[in-house]
Each structure stands twice: as C-alpha cells, then as structure tokens.
A and B are shown apart, each in its own frame.
With several copies, the nearest count.
Chain A
Amino acid sequence: MAKGKAVATRPSGGGTDAPAGGFVQLLTPDGEHVGSVTTADGTTYSVDFTDEEYRGLYRDLVTVRRLDAEATALQRQGELGLWASLLGQEAAQVGSGRALRTQDMAFPTYREHGVLYCRGIDPIMPFGLFRGVDQGGWDANEHKFNSYTIVIGSQTLHATGYAMGVTMDGKTGSPDGEAVIAYFGDGATSQGEVNEAFVWAGVFNAPMVFFCQNNQYAISEPLERQTRIPLYRRALGYGFPGIRIDGNDVLASYAVTRAALDNARNGQGPTLIEAYTYRMGAHTSSDDPTRYRIASEVESWKAKDPISRVRAFLTKQQLADEDFFGEVDENARKLALDLRERVLAMPDPQPVTMFDHVYPNGSPDLDEQRKAFTEYHASFEGSGH
C-alpha cells in the first residue's frame, strides 16, 4: 500500500520535541493538507502519496471503523463476551499500521484491530478471544503480529527482547533491516514494566518504536492520573527521542511512524511516539463512560474525527467523489457482514481441548486429568445431562 516519504535523519542524542502546534499534524480537522512539518529539532516530516494511496488510506479507515462497529453490535447481541472498540483511534492505527514494512514485527495490546487489519490479517483472527472460544490462538511469527496482551504493558518488554534479537541476528543497520513496534496506552506508561522496556531499549539501542495511543483515558482515569507532563517527553529521561503526533491524523501517524521505524532499522535505536487521540466509545463493552466524562468533551472530539478530515481532503482535492465514498461504505458493509456470519459460525470449543497446549512436551499428570475428565463426561452421555 502506501509509501510515504519519511525523513531518515535526525539530530543525534537529542530528544525530538513537539512543533509549535504541540504535535505533528499533516492533515487538519478541516482536511487541509499541510505540506510538511519541521519539529524543534530540525526533523521534517511529510508524506508523498499517490492519489490511489490517499484513497486507500480512506478505505482502510472506513473499513476498520465499520468492522469495529460490527463487533460492537455482535457484543450487544450477546455474540461476543467483550469488545474493546477502537472507535476514534483509526488514524493512529491505520497510519502506523501502514507504515510497517512486511518484515517488521508488531506487539499489540487488546485494541489494535486496525493495525491487525493493515497487516493484511483476516480481521476475524481476534474474535475467538472476544467470543470466548479461545485466547487468541494465532502464530505471532506467521503474522508478524504478536498475541493480544491483556496485562497492561507486558508486551513492551516482549517487543524490546524481540528487537534485541533482531540486532543479534544482524538485521539492523540497513534500509532493509527489521524494526519492531510496541503498542500501548496512556495508562500503560505508569507500569514499571513499560518503563523497564524504555531502560532496555535505550541501553541496547533496540530497533524499535514505542507507539503510545494516548486516548486520554485509562478506563475512567484521565491522563493527569498518569503524568503531569506530555507523555512523549518520557523518552527524554531514557535518552531517545519522543514525539507527539496528532493521533487523529492518519498522515502524521504514517509519516512519523515510518521515519521512526526506518531510523530503528537503520540502527539508530528507539523512538517513542505519542499519538494524541481520543477514545470515542466506552473503554470496553463492559464500561459506562458517562460515569466519568461529560458529553461535551466527546462532542468536541467529534470535530477532530480521523475519517471526516480525510474525506474532506479527498473531496476538496477532487481525488474522490460520492461514488467512491459509496463504494467504500458498501465494501466495508460487505466485509462486516461476512465477518458477522463467520463469527456466528465459530464453533464452540470441545471442552476436552482445554487440556491441550499447556506444555510443548506434555505432562503425564495432566494426561491423567484429561483422561479422567473424558471418562467423567462420558458417564453422562445419553443421560440427558
């Protein structure tokens, strides 16, 4: 898909700082495309997409939102046990997701359905987890996309270790090198493990990008419960650059992530990106956000919607017309319908399979438990139990 022109150099040692506006923004809420942005440290960010690529980004955004909405509906209808919606965070995820090169590895939380989609993965993949039929069950290496991680922050250390392995394998120091991206939220920045990941990434100059989606809340806790200064500045304390982007701007997300990943693969070490965005929906389907935030706040963020600005841009620039937008919606609708059907068709697990995959080499003790379980359940067969 899209390839952006991303700046490959940056001043050594120093921390990239936010530009005047507070963050890197290439596409305003009104759909104005800013040609390029130069940050305080002299790095210039811009993108250079073909018309087709701009339309592709729009398609991605609409599609991931539509799929997400379908999942929310499925949850409401009792078909999923839980859903963690990405509503409002599409630009952060699509921009960074598309910035990944094929060889790059991603470590998500439980909310990165948009990144997953941009990796070319069948969007049904995480539904086993949310439906309760399994706990993920995919191959991290096959998809270059690790398991969803629910314990806050733990995946940042996994990503850092994986990135150390990339270096040990000699896969950095060139434009074809590999890079690693770790996703996490604003709340996660308070976890010791995440800060240890910063320590290690700095010490080992790990080829990685820490991508923090600051959606302003950790469930009910507003940002000021996690920090009194902007989160991107956390990186300064560890000796690598931190930068804040408009997380609702897919172009900024793409440009800055691509540049940071390329720096990483080139051997220039880690970067922290703070994508300043907003969780438009509930934390998860179990949450009731009206208890802790006011409607006007949500309203004010609607004006910064990540999709409408791309649509406005495409329209103004006459890169797309109503037919195109209609076709995108229709296509997304079809994908969502297909997803729904396949989710509904997911078989429940055979109970005895819960004994599988505890140990690669098995355990005689557990084999006996499995046997007893099978016999016990067989004893009910035909008893109508």
Chain B
Amino acid sequence: MAETITLGKSLNHGLRRALENDSKVVIMGEDVGKLGGVFRITDGLQKDFGEDRVIDTPLAEAGIVGTAVGLAIRGYRPVCEIQFDGFVFPAYNQIVAQVAKMFYRSKGKVRVPIVIRIPFGGGIGAVEHHSESPEAYFAHTPGLKVVTCSNPADAYTMIQQAIASDDPVVFFEPKRRYWEKGEVDLDAPLSGAYPLHSARVARPGSDATLLAYGPMVRVALDAAAAAAEDGRSLEVIDLRTLSPVDYPVIFESVKRTGRAVVVHEAPGSGGLGGELAARISEECFYSLEAPVLRVTGYDIPYPAARSEEEYLPDLDRLLDAVDRSFGW
C-alpha cells in the first residue's frame, strides 16, 4: 500500500519492519527511546518493542558502537544511532579499527552486522558540529559499506537492506530532507528491490551527467529541471552507495554525455568528488569533453548558520559548473 510520507517517517517504518522481522535487531543510541530520537526517527519504537529492543544508552558514542560490536558477536544485529554527524568521532576508533576489521581479522569467522545511522549535512541553521558531511572519512575505510538515501522510497528500502546485510554499514541520512515527502510502498517485499549496492539514474539526460547523493540529489534534480528550460538535457545519478561506488552506471552515463559534474556538501579537498573524478577520468578518458568538475563545500570548517547558504552547493553553483563544463 503506497503512502505519501516524509523521509524521516519512512525510516521509522523501515526500522519498525526490521524490528518486526528479526528479533535479533536492536536499536541503540542516545534518546532513541521515549523521545524517539531528536529527529523522531525511532518514534514509538521503544513503546512497541520494549526497552531491550530499543535501548537508551549512556552518552558515549564509543560505548554505543563498541557494545554493538559485542552484541553482534553475540548474534544481535545492532542499529546504532549517532545523534549528529559531528558526534561520531568519539566512536571513530571503534568504527574504523573494530567494526571495519573484525570480519577480516577473523578470516570471515566473525560477522558484525552493525548499522550506524548518522544524520548528516547542513542547511538546517544549526550550531557547530550539527551540519557536517563526514562520509569521506568512512568511505576510505575498507570493510565498511557506506550508503545514503535521497528520498522516502529509497530510505525505506535501504534502511531495511542495510540491517539485513551482514556487512557493517554506515548509513548517512540527509537530515535536511527528513521532512520531504514522497510515495512509499510500505508492503513491498525487500527481496524485490534493487541491491543495496546500486546507483540510480534519477533523471535521464544526454548532454552532461550530474553525480549527487543524499541531500544534494534534490539540488541536482532542480538544476537539471532548470537546465531543461534552457534546452540542456542533464542526467542525474543518485549514487546511493558511497563505498563501494556502483561505477558501471556512472561510466556508462559519462561515456554517453561526455561531461560530468559531481556535487557534495563536504569540503572539496579529499572529498568523494575527487575519487569520482579520478575514476571517471581514468575510465572515460577519451570520452570526456571537459574535466570532471566539482561543486562542493569549501575547504573550511562548516561555517556559522548565517553563512551556510553561501557555503552549500546550490542550483546556481551547479549550473555555473555545467556552464564551465560546456565552455571548456
């Protein structure tokens, strides 16, 4: 039964279904219980599944992820909530040195099917540490799968896939899109869905390819719509998985269009855009009419709220980059 719901609500439904389907699934984090999380993503779940399934934890991110590792060894499937992007770093050691490596260390004998949910990105007028995009810190870590969603339907499918997967998954949620609505088929069987590891052509086009993920997919789609009015046909690809990236879809597109622009909120230097540009440049060398261009956050700490509009990539900057690509 398809319903029109917000992205936040679709995550809530996805978590609920995961809790229902597998008694080993547990949710843990700060304020996930009675409060339902500061974004209400876990709203009502503790009430319905109990304090053992939806665990309000001490205020300690290393503790959240570290105990999740132990629970996973015990056979559980923990879903950890990190309250905001800027607060994941106390858990960084557990994530990159333990979660990412346990399977490798044990030669495949110990699985830690953990999902680490992180609301990320800016645009909500918040104070420091509440608007960051740390995905590149995780995507560079073998052993972790890193994914993000851009719309309610994907959110619903992907959160369930991430939980069902035995791979440890860092699941970035585009917090400024929590309130955006879309149609979601709540009864669709998971088995019928695309694989977790798959990019999506969000809008087909022929003149240039825009690569986006998470909160920036909306911006890319808006840019493509605007460009269409000017007679330019832009293809928009929603990466969905950031590590590993579903390159075949990307290469096919760029070879066809000859131009690519990558967009993300994180600072440009060392961001995922560089990796994408490098891979595309290598694979599509003879097809490229212009270098792969990037529209990203600047190489500065995330600025104060009243500057964020100028910091965040927007439609104008994206179209400007498309223009530059065509003008190369």
Contact = CB atoms under 8 A, between A and B. Distances in A.
B244 A366 contact: yes
A369 B30 contact: no
A150 B129 contact: yes
Given A219-B30, A354-B310, A157 B167 contact: no
Contacts of A324: none
A292 B46 CA distance: 12
Interface in B32-60: 33-36, 38, 52, 56-60
B74 A81 contact: no
Q: How large is the interface on A (under 10, 10 to 19, 20 to 34, 35 or more residues)?
A: 35 or more
A43 B57 CA distance: 32
Interface stretch (A65-73, A111-119, A139-147, A241-249): A139-147
B123 to A, nearest CB: 12
Q: How large is the interface on B (under 10, 10 to 19, 20 to 34, 35 or more residues)?
A: 35 or more
Most buried by B among A152, A159, A221: A221
14 contacts: A130-B127, A139-B109, A150-B128, A151-B129, A161-B67, A193-B93, A196-B60, A196-B63, A197-B66, A199-B60, A219-B31, A291-B36, A292-B34, A360-B111
Interface string A137-173: 1111110001100111010111111111110110000
A356 B107 contact: yes
Interface of A: 81-82, 107, 110, 128-142, 146-147, 150-152, 154, 156-166, 168-169, 187-188, 190-193, 196-197, 199-200, 203, 218-221, 225-226, 286-287, 291-292, 348-349, 351, 353-361, 363-366, 369, 373, 376-377, 380, 385
Contacts of B59: 152, 187-188, 190-191, 218, 221, 225-226
A158 B102 CA distance: 11
A252 B175 CA distance: 43
Prevailing SS type, chain B contact patch: loop
A109 B167 CA distance: 25
Given A130-B127, A196-B60, A200-B67, 10 more contacts: A139-B110, A161-B69, A161-B78, A164-B71, A165-B76, A197-B66, A200-B63, A219-B31, A225-B58, A359-B167
A165 B305 contact: no
Contact of A160 (B67, B129, B300): B67
Given A291-B34, A364-B244, A358 B103 contact: yes
Contacts of A365: 244-245, 247, 269, 299
Given A199-B60, A218-B59, A160 B108 contact: no
The 8 closest A-B pairs by CB, nearest first: A161-B70, A157-B66, A132-B305, A161-B67, A165-B74, A137-B107, A162-B70, A220-B35
Contacts of B89: 151
A163 B76 CA distance: 12
Contact of A225 (B57, B62, B104): B57
Given A135-B128, A286-B38, A358 B33 contact: no
B126 interface: yes
A219 B63 CA distance: 18
Contact of A151 (B67, B97, B103, B245): B97
B311 A193 contact: no
Contact of A133 (B74, B110, B306): B306
Nearest to B196: A361
A358 B99 CA distance: 11
B114 to A, nearest CB: 10
A365 B150 CA distance: 23
B128 A220 contact: no
Given A162-B73, A193-B90, A361-B167, A129 B127 contact: yes
Contacts of B305: 81, 132
Contact of B52 (A168, A197, A348, A356): A168
